[in-house]
Amino acid sequence: MDAIVTTETAPLPDTTVKVKDVFGFDSNLVVPAYSVANEYVPDLDEDYQFNRETTLAILAGFAHNRRVMISG
């Protein structure tokens, strides 16, 4: 059986956004973002409520290219 190998990678974020503007959290953090939606960007859900501490930990990982472990 032959394996199928692909070298296609996801596009990188092409802009930055202020966490305070997007998530409403009191934070000066600026994070990478996509300017145009694609298959890696979910539709906006106005009813979703982000957990502040968890979201900030994940966003800090994105901003500083670090891994973040979430449990619980």
pTM of the model: 0.75
Per residue of the chain (72 residues), give pLDDT as tens: 677 777 777 788 899 999 999 999 999 999 999 888 888 778 889 999 999 999 999 999 999 999 999 988
| 62, 29 contact by CB (below 8 A) | no
What is the per-residue pLDDT for 19? 97
What gap in Å lies between CA 34 and CA 36, rounded to an integer?
Answer: 5
Radius of gyration, CA atoms only, the chain: 15
Task: Render 33-47 in DSSP notation, one character per residue.
Answer: E-SS--TTSPPP-TT
| 19, 59 contact by CB (below 8 A) | yes
What is the per-residue pLDDT for 52? 96
